[in-house]
Amino acid sequence: MEVLGDAEVLAERAADLIGDALREKPNLSVLVATGHTPMATYAELALRGLDASRLTAVQLDEYLGVGEDDPRSLWGWMRRSFVEPLGVKQVVRLGDAPDPDEACRRYESEVAALSGIDLAVLGLGPNGHLGFNEPLCGPGARTRVVTLTPASLASNAAYWGDLPVPSRALTAGMDVILSARRIILLVSGSHKRDILARALREPPTPEVPASWLQGANTTVLADRAAWGGAQ
């Protein structure tokens, strides 16, 4: 657990850790969250001139029924914020098969073919979700189709202006996330205080999916605003 002064310092620290991991292992496989929190980290990483040509970026989640040209496509967001700015050439996508169950199976086998995930870069949902692993969710939950909770519909509405938030999504399973060899959880802002405190303090529970991170190799990077109530 590291507490950083503000979102900018947090992004610099996260970029340091990701950059170090990439220098150590040029063919790093990285599970890549979208959402607001990691955007400053990705922008900072892109400024550092790292060679990410052998990195494989693995998608964390996607809305169901949203094509890649739709402005709400999470693949599109990941491409614009991470894949293109860093010059990433290999990606594992979630949701690029017409049948969602087939897309999940394909994803799981592509992740297995990579020998798993080296590094997961995650944000914390306002209800404790990781990816779209919504409460209630156990640590063994597989990659699957989920229905978004009202809390996630509300937080995701902030991303898309007037466009409605799709009600269903595909998510990497908790099993994929928790088997990552290293996890960096980025948490910024006072609106995350209570849920961060629960994720860190409560015994792991399906009510707060992020609490399962307690049993994984997790580094939590929180800014002071997010950490305030967690002390």
- Asked if omega into 136 is within 30° of 0 (cis), the reply is yes
User: Is residue 131 within the footprint of ligand F6R (CB under 6 A)?
Assistant: yes
What is the nearest approach in angstroms of ligand F6R to the Cβ of residue 42?
A: 12
User: Is residue 173 within the footprint of ligand F6R (CB under 6 A)?
Assistant: no
Provide the strand spans (E) within the chain. Answer: 2-4, 29-32, 56-59, 61-63, 90-92, 119-123, 144-147, 168-171, 182-187, 218-223
User: Structure tokens of 17?
Assistant: 């850790």
User: Is residue 36 within the footprint of ligand F6R (CB under 6 A)?
Assistant: yes
Residue 78: closest CA among 111, 45, 31: 31
User: Is residue 33 within the footprint of ligand F6R (CB under 6 A)?
Assistant: yes
User: Looking at beta carbons only, is 21 or 169 nearer to ligand F6R?
Assistant: 169
Residue in the shown chain whose Cβ atom is closest to ligand F6R: 123
Is 217 catalytic? The answer is no
Q: How far apart are CA 120 and CA 164, in angstroms?
A: 28
What is the nearest approach in angstroms of ligand F6R to the Cβ of residue 23?
A: 25
Is 61 catalytic? The answer is yes
For residue 6, give every residue at least 6 positions away whose Cβ sits within 8 Å of its Cβ, in sequence order, or none.
223, 224, 225
User: Is residue 61 within the footprint of ligand F6R (CB under 6 A)?
Assistant: yes
Residue from 95, 100, 123, 209 that binds ligand F6R (CB under 6 A)? 123
| Chain residues in the site for ligand F6R (CB under 6 A) | 33-37, 60-61, 74, 123-125, 129-131, 155
